[in-house]
């Protein structure tokens, strides 16, 4: 058995009301409720087996002489000592960038097919998805289309409290590709070349990033966020669009296409 960590409800900066939140979704015309819980892993390398034995034997966890100090501090004061570990950014494979379940694959295919005849129309949807991913976005404007099929989006992300916040500029590169076509180095380099000092970029695609393009972003440390097909489907589901039928209805309502 390997000790992975001791989790406690909540996190720094949240209230008790945020520890457990009810979330409503709709699937096939039926509403259902899920719950979202927030936990913090304490900076604790190990716990005493004797503490667990005490709990099993009916001793109150906080009254056991073997209770971890870090946990007792949280119980008594509500103060967290979180385990902080720097996470290395992985270079995701094609498989890791695309959805795996049958329904999620179908949802991504519907999204691509809907905008396939007019990839420029996908930009408005891409901007909406970026706002979901970056909820503190205060401005997001689409600019004119380019010959290569891309289209710029320029946004501002607010960091901090409204009274003393900082606005950070970012640029978007959106690509409505099928899963048999990847975003390659040329498209990535185009976005990177447009980034000015203290800006970051967002690549959002209904497909995936080629390994070489992904590798260039990660290994060279470019400030670029990647939203591939799998990420898009996860964002859509977070908004309550749980299946392909709901997605199709949402697309037709929110992004009506001009008929030829």
Specify the pLDDT at position 150: 44
d(CA 106, CA 109): 5
- Summarize pLDDT for 156-191 with one digit per residue, the tens: 999 998 888 999 999 999 999 999 999 999 999 989
| Closest alpha carbon to 79 in 92, 69, 94 | 69
- Summarize pLDDT for 110-164 with one digit per residue, the tens: 999 999 988 788 999 999 999 999 999 999 988 766 544 444 789 999 999 888 8
Specify the pLDDT at position 78: 86
List Cα–Cα distances, 179 to 63, 85, 98, 99, 216, in angstroms.
57, 34, 8, 10, 21
User: How is residue 73 written in tokens?
Assistant: 């501090």
First and final C-alpha spacing in the chain: 63
87: pLDDT confidence band, cut at 50, 70 and 90? low
Contact (CB, 8 A) for 40 and 8: yes
CATH number assigned to the domain covering 94-254: 3.40.1350.10
Contact (CB, 8 A) for 227 and 205: yes
**Which helix (H) or strand (E) element contains residue 201?**
strand 200-205
- Could you give the 3-state DSSP secondary structure of residue 151? strand
Domains of the chain, residue spans: 7-77, 94-254
């Amino acid at each position: 058995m390997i000790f992975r960590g001791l989790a406690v409800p909540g996190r720094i900066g949240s209230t008790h009301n945020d520890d457990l939140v009810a979330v409503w979704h709709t699937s096939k015309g039926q509403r259902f409720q899920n719950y979202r819980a927030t936990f913090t892993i304490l900076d604790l390398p190990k716990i005493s087996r004797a503490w667990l034995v005490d709990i099993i034997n009916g001793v109150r966890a906080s009254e056991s002489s073997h209770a971890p100090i870090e946990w007792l501090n949280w119980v008594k004061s509500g103060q967290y000592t979180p385990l902080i570990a720097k996470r290395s950014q992985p270079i995701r494979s094609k498989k890791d960038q695309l959805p795996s379940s049958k329904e999620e694959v179908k949802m991504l295919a519907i999204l691509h097919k809907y905008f396939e005849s007019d990839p420029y129309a996908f930009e408005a949807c891409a901007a909406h998805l970026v706002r979901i991913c970056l909820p503190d976005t205060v401005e997001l404007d689409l600019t004119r289309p380019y010959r290569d099929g891309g289209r710029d989006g320029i946004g501002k992300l607010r960091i901090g409290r409204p009274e003393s916040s900082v606005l950070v500029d970012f640029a978007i590169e959106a690509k409505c590709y099928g899963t048999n076509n990847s975003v390659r180095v040329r498209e990535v380099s185009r976005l990177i070349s447009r980034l000015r000092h203290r800006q970051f970029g967002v690549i959002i695609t209904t497909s995936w990033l080629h390994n070489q393009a992904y590798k260039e972003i990660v290994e060279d440390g470019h400030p670029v966020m990647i939203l591939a097909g799998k990420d898009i489907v996860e964002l859509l589901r977070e908004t309550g669009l749980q299946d392909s039928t709901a997605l199709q209805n949402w697309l037709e309502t929110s992004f009506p296409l001009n008929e030829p």
